[in-house]
Amino acid sequence: MERINELLYKAANWGADCIYGVVDGDKYNTLDRNKMADIIKIFLMNMSNIIIIYGFAMVFGNFLKTLTIHLSYTITKKFSFGSHVKNETVYAMISIGLFVLLPFVTPYIAIDNNATILVFSVIVYLHWLYAPANTQKYPVIEPRKRGVLKCISMLCVTGLAVLALLMPDEEIKTLYALGAICQTVNILPIPHRIK
């Protein structure tokens, strides 16, 4: 994994140098170039994780279920933030567990509309209490910004709940709920203490 991180770092720096060389160099300083390299590295890491997750999903034959739970998780995470795993290997293993293997339990725990309402009510309440969760890299300190992010986070979860309720298939409702639950656990104070 060290080798992969080193390659990503080199590729990000090379990309930043290329972009930096194409645009007017006088307008940008070293800090701008480093920010650009960080953005490229994050993009490359995300792309490699997506390839790993969906590669495993295709191997296990549950691509659409993985996509559904992953989208639910992502929609819920967008404005609620949450803890991050620093180790890429651990992150990949957790992602495979959550997005590829977890959907295999949905036939056994499929939820109906009443259970969907109950589960998403708890999730909305937890987002009201804890969203947005601060991260080490992006602490949200300003109260007004926190309030806006909290409201948007709760609206996203509510929208996801409505979408789940409109789905006729109980397994899809369960996938939406599981994705939202995974992200909601991510904003609770407990994961932050574990790190």
Name the average pLDDT for the chain.
Answer: 85
Tell me the pLDDT tens digit for each residue of 118-166: 999 999 999 999 999 876 666 777 889 889 999 999 999 999 999 999 9
Q: Are 95 and 46 in contact (CB under 8 A)?
A: no
Q: Are 179 and 157 in contact (CB under 8 A)?
A: no
| Residue ranges covered by each domain of the chain | 1-61, 63-83+109-195
Q: What is the mean pLDDT of residues 29-46?
A: 77
Look up residue 102 and give its two tokens: 């977890």
**What's the pTM?**
0.81
Query: Phi and psi for 116 in degrees, rounded to 5?
Result: -60, -45
How far apart CA 177 and CA 76 sit, in angstroms, is: 10
- Say which range, 16-25, 80-89, 184-193, has the weakest mean pLDDT: 16-25
Instruction: Give yes or no for residue 66 having a pLDDT over 80.
Output: yes
pLDDT of residue 195: 45
Helix pair angle (170-187, 113-130), 10° resolution: 20
pLDDT band, very low/low/confident/very high, at 23 (cuts 50, 70, 90):
low
